Structure 1
Amino acid sequence: MPLIPHSLLFRVTFPCRYVKNIPSDEGDRLLDLSEACRIESLAAMDERRSFADLRLAWNDFGLGVQLEVRGKDQEPQGSAARLRSSDGLTLWIDTRDARTSHRASRYCHQFYFLPTGGGPDGDEPVFSQTKIHRALQDAPLAAAAEVPFRCERIKNGYILEAFLPAGVLNGFDPEQNPRLGFFYVVRDAEPGEQFLSLNADFPYGEDPSLWSVLELVH
């Protein structure tokens, strides 16, 4: 693997497709996003393996998030008390895509989606939003009840689906600001970690200037 990741040498803009009828209140699936909504990982550029399929979509009501993880032999591991060390997805969103600062603003959000670790028995999915380290200003924190969230266990993995309503995305305004800053990492006790681009050698969790661009397109 190169000392300087290839993904650091340029900034990628990822299209985020418009999907009108999400979230769904019918059937078992909250989103069921198509392949057109897939966010391609840049892991292969730096000789890293991809094991997770992330798909994003938007409409005027908010942002849909779908993650599928395969290749597991064990049940996912997680705890609502240990978000950063649990299996699942961490997603960062900047509704203003202000890449001039190395510190987060009130428009920057950090969301956790875990397949397990919640509820009385610790076996229910977990959604949580936390403050970003060293932020200049903190985004308002969303309550779990505000975010529709489901997890389905499948053979050798799981599927997470969530819908982030516009009300929990401070500054979300697709018409005036169709370009969002974003980054993600998927953690798993078996295959390891999958990053959108940069790896754990970089402070992506607190520096929005390292994030990529998510462009809301029709």
Structure 2
Amino acid sequence: MSLIAGALLLQTKVPCWRVSDMGQRLKKGTPLPDGCTLRPFTAMGNPGCPVTVQTGWNDSGLAILVEVTNKSKPPEGDATRPHLADGVSLWLNTRGSLSGKRANGYCHLLHLLPVGGGDDKTEPVICQGKIPRALEEAPAIPLSKIFFRSRLQHGGYTVAALIPQGALHGFDFDENRTLSFAIKVQDAERGALISCADLDVNHDEDPSWWDWLQLRDEPPPGEPGSINDLASKPKQAPSNLDPFKDEPVAKQPRRGRRKAGENG
């Protein structure tokens, strides 16, 4: 049996698919398409794991949805101590290719708590955290610009956030399509689960442990227009085929081949 966790041996690049109706789904409380579900190499990706994480994006921003199930007790939390509360912590580097061993001004931490806000600590709340030993702290996040939704359900909860472009420092899809991220679900009953690396390493302060999130222009697998959807459709015969000879009616003249070093 290996003494080194498999997740520590690699840093994965996770596709984040374009979801055109992402905002409507989150506002209605419906999940993203199944193809948006992450399956990390950590325990969070094991079959039967009580945590489901989904990501998606479109021009309006980036969506994160986390569902926690099979809890025997309702979640508890306090927004003044979010790292100890039942809920989700999201680390996001808006310039993923610049990840080093220390966080910079592009590295952000958000806590998505199903409870812990309000005077009685029962309201859902989103708050910004600080990354230890950061070379430069990220600017304050205008939390009012982030759409945040939480729903308590029997045996668990769901939290979802839609982060618009411009809400985070450097968050511009025209300039960068590769982010780095880590998601941790803190649970008072079962302990913590994380999407990358291992809980024994300093993932909370070292962005080099985080995985990459690659924004893709295609819809999620299984959705109309996705890569596997197009691959499953029968190929159309070229429109210039002669129906009797099964050959092109007229061939286009070939251009002269150019040798290496020639111009024109």
Alignment of 1:163-182 (within 5 A): 163-182=162-181
Q: Which runs of 5+ in 2 are unaligned?
A: 218-264
Q: Which runs of 5+ in 1 are unaligned?
A: none
Equivalent position of 1:11 in the other structure:
11
My pick for the range that moved more, 172-181 or 38-47, is 38-47
Residue identity matched to 2:8: L
Relative distance call for 1:28 and 1:16 in structure 2 (3 A) is same
Partner of 2:166, secondary structure, is helix
Q: CA RMSD in A?
A: 2.3
Equivalent position of 2:201 in the other structure:
202
Task: Supply the distance in 2 between the matched residues of 1:155 and 1:45 (Cα, whole angstroms).
Answer: 21
Output the TM-score relative to the length of structure 2. 0.76
1:200 is displaced (CA, Å) by 2.0
Q: Residue 165 of structure 2 contacts residue 173 of structure 2 at CA under 8 Å; is this kept in 1? A: no
1:27 is displaced (CA, Å) by 6.0
1:99 is displaced (CA, Å) by 5.0
Structure 1 or 2, whichever has the larger Rg, is 2
Partner of 1:158, secondary structure, is strand
Task: Supply the distance in 1 between the matched residues of 2:194 and 2:141 (Cα, whole angstroms).
Answer: 24
Q: Which has the higher strand share?
A: 1
1:102 is displaced (CA, Å) by 0.6
Equivalent position of 2:85 in the other structure:
86
Residue identity matched to 1:22: M
Residue identity matched to 1:179: T
My pick for the range that moved more, 139-148 or 70-79, is 139-148
Partner of 2:174, secondary structure, is coil
Alignment of 1:179-194 (within 5 A): 179-194=178-193
1:134 is displaced (CA, Å) by 1.1
My pick for the range that moved more, 16-25 or 31-40, is 16-25
Partner of 2:176, secondary structure, is coil
Equivalent position of 2:24 in the other structure:
24
Relative distance call for 1:25 and 1:9 in structure 2 (3 A) is closer
1:55 is displaced (CA, Å) by 0.4
Q: Residue 101 of structure 1 contacts residue 208 of structure 1 at CA under 8 Å; is this kept in 2? A: yes
Task: Supply the distance in 1 between the matched residues of 2:69 and 2:49 (Cα, whole angstroms).
Answer: 10
Output the TM-score relative to the length of structure 1. 0.91
My pick for the range that moved more, 173-182 or 43-52, is 43-52
Q: What percent identity do the matched residue pairs reach?
A: 36
